[in-house]
């Protein structure tokens, strides 16, 4: 009488019991021996050898007919676990390309033997595998491969905002602002839906930076409407001082005086004392353009002692006959 040894697997602990062999005792005992060798090889992380033993044991069980029924049943439980163990080990070794192949093979085996637990484990592993590959690519500055892996991860798991966050960061490293923008927008959407406030905050901060970069490019080409649009987008997702400064500059060029006043008022409240004289000067100029003499005088007076603006302020005060 031969007994099966126990094996501790990633997803389950499979313990087999003894067979009472009658007609084909030799064949069955050979199968049991191979089963035990498979478990021992598995525990020693000799996965290919374990798989070979497992498949050989299964063939013996099939050939044994009714006497091999119990061995057959147990091998159908064991063999998918052996393939899964090999795939998981390749992830641990960060051998991601071989791990992908191994998981695909494990998936085929799990379907063949109708192993629901292994199929579930594989479905859960795929997005993590591609995510891990994406992280490795990002850390190695291999942003193209990182993006490809993260795109694949998103196909398996559409509810993981971290995937889109890292994808956006990878595009940003490539200076691909448009694709980075879309990835961070998706991150914020998924993060909001899954209550991941940290990733939403991080995505919005990155979006704000992207819109500021686009505003800067538009400013170089004097496309003031675009500057205003991107500045507003930046401020919508993340209120920031530079966004208000850009908005104020664009509004000044477009003669949108109310926007100038509102934006520079934010600069005053959010900025430092060094920001105030410039803000006061342009607020005063905006009020002057609106023919609001009293408000223009109020702000010109705030900078009449400033080294940079005092000459302009005194000239305007005299011209407006400020009291």
Residue 14's pLDDT band (boundaries 50, 70, 90)?
very low
Domain ranges of the chain: 1-153, 158-238, 255-323
Does 51 score more than 80 pLDDT? yes
Do the Cβ atoms of 53 and 37 come closer than 8 Å?
A: yes
CATH T-level fold of 1-153: 1.25.40
CATH top-level class for 158-238?
Answer: mainly alpha
Note the pLDDT tens digit of each residue in 185-207. Answer: 999 999 999 999 999 999 999 99
Note the pLDDT tens digit of each residue in 216-254. Answer: 999 999 999 999 999 999 999 999 999 999 999 999 999
Instruction: Select 255-323's CATH number: 1.10.3470, 1.25.40, 1.10.1410, 1.10.10.
Output: 1.25.40
Secondary structure (DSSP) of 69-108: HHHHHHHHHHHHHHHHHHHHHHHHTT-HHHHHHHHHHHHH
Query: One fold for both 1-153 and 158-238?
Result: yes
Note the pLDDT tens digit of each residue in 72-111. Answer: 999 999 999 999 999 999 999 999 999 999 999 999 999 9
Mean pLDDT (whole number) for 3-9: 45
**DSSP H/E element including 30:** helix 25-43
In whole angstroms, give the CA distance from residue 191 to residue 195: 6
């Amino acid at each position: 009488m031969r007994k099966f040894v126990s094996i501790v697997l990633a997803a389950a602990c499979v313990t087999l019991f003894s067979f009472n062999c009658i007609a084909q005792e030799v064949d069955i005992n050979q199968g049991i021996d191979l089963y035990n060798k498979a478990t021992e090889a598995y525990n020693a992380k000799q996965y290919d050898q374990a798989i070979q033993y497992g498949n050989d044991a299964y063939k013996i069980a099939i050939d044994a007919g009714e006497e091999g029924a119990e061995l057959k049943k147990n091998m159908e439980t064991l063999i998918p676990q052996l393939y899964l163990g090999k795939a998981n080990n390749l992830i641990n070794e960060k051998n991601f390309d071989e791990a992908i192949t191994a998981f695909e093979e494990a998936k085929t085996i799990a379907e063949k033997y109708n192993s629901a637990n292994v199929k579930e484990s594989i479905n859960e592993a795929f997005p993590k595998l591609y995510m891990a590959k994406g992280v490795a690519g990002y850390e190695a500055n291999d942003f193209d491969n990182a993006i490809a892996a993260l795109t694949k991860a998103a196909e398996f798991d559409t509810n993981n905002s971290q995937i889109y966050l890292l994808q956006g960061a990878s595009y940003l490293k490539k200076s691909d602002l448009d694709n980075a923008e879309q990835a961070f927008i998706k991150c914020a959407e998924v993060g909001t839906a899954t209550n991941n406030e940290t990733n939403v905050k991080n995505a919005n901060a990155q979006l704000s930076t992207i819109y500021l970069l686009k505003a800067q490019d538009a400013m170089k080409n004097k496309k003031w409407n675009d500057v205003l649009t991107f500045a507003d987008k930046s401020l919508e997702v993340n209120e920031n001082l530079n966004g208000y400064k850009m908005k104020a500059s664009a509004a000044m060029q477009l003669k949108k005086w109310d926007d100038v006043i509102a934006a520079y008022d934010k600069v005053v409240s959010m900025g430092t004392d060094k920001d105030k004289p410039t803000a006061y000067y342009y607020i005063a100029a905006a009020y002057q353009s609106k023919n609001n003499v009293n408000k223009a005088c109020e702000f010109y007076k705030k900078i009449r002692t400033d080294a940079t603006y005092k000459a302009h302020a005194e000239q305007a005060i005299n011209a407006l006959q400020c009291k």
